[in-house]
Amino acid sequence: MTGSKIDAMTGRTVLITGSTDGLGRELAVRLGAAGARVIVHGRDGRRAARVVAAGGPEPEIVLADLSRLAEVDRLAVEVASRTGRLDVLVNNAGIGFGRPGAERELSADGIELRWAVNHLAPYRLTRRLLPLLRAAAPARVVNVASAGQQEIDFDDLLLDHGYEGIRAYRRAKLAQVMMSFDLAEELSGTGITVNALHPATFMATTMVAEAGGAPLSTVAEGADATMRLIADPALEGTTGRYYHGLRPGQVHPQARDPLARKRLREVSDGGIAAIPG
């Protein structure tokens, strides 16, 4: 994306989770160059400082481990202490499916790790930042999901049985799409849009390398697709959509099921206590 499609970012405040590496880093650098005030999130202060050094007006750093729900809450409080408005929230942070045969991992809260980081964290963070998004409306929420989606079994939400990293990843990414549709419907008429996308397939990122996969696309390709949802004025008012790269994409049928989305919302709102186990 070039030219006028990026000019609208001047003076806007953008939070990008997971912006010290890969797609998030590329987005932070591009948005900073386009004039946005970028809030860089990561877990490592040194890596975050390197992103900030790439430039842009008033870049800031917020550190938090999104595998811990208390850290998600603290991150929201810290962002609110630094700005009274948030024009764009990009929920980009996530973890991949790991290597084949890897053992099931739990977060410090006792939640299956991919569910905790790839779904619960962005869900909880977005909810807590809604006042800042409302203050900036028209504002946008962009959820970096995946074309890899698998049906959620609400009776075995944390994959206590038959665990596979790729199943855990795909179910959490479907939950992220479902959350996007659900929240878009809830926020209709508020000026806040919520969309999700699969930016590109097997980008040349640390996540793909750790899984032992070979890159099939570049980070730049994924950034082009994500920047479109962040900044393209032609998409102003567009909400409740899922894109595969630059085009509308197909989602798992469960994402269109209002009863499944309602159940997911109840579980997500309830936090740890509402998760069957």
Catalytically annotated residues: 169
Whole-number Å distance between alpha carbons of 263 and 260: 5
Least Cα distance to 14 among 45, 51, 58, 47 occurs for 58
Largest CA distance in the chain: 51
Query: Token digits for 85?
Result: 């408005």
How crowded is residue 172: how many other Cβ atoms within 10 Å of its Cβ?
29
Whole-number Å distance between alpha carbons of 98 and 42: 20
Whole-number Å distance between alpha carbons of 5 and 134: 23
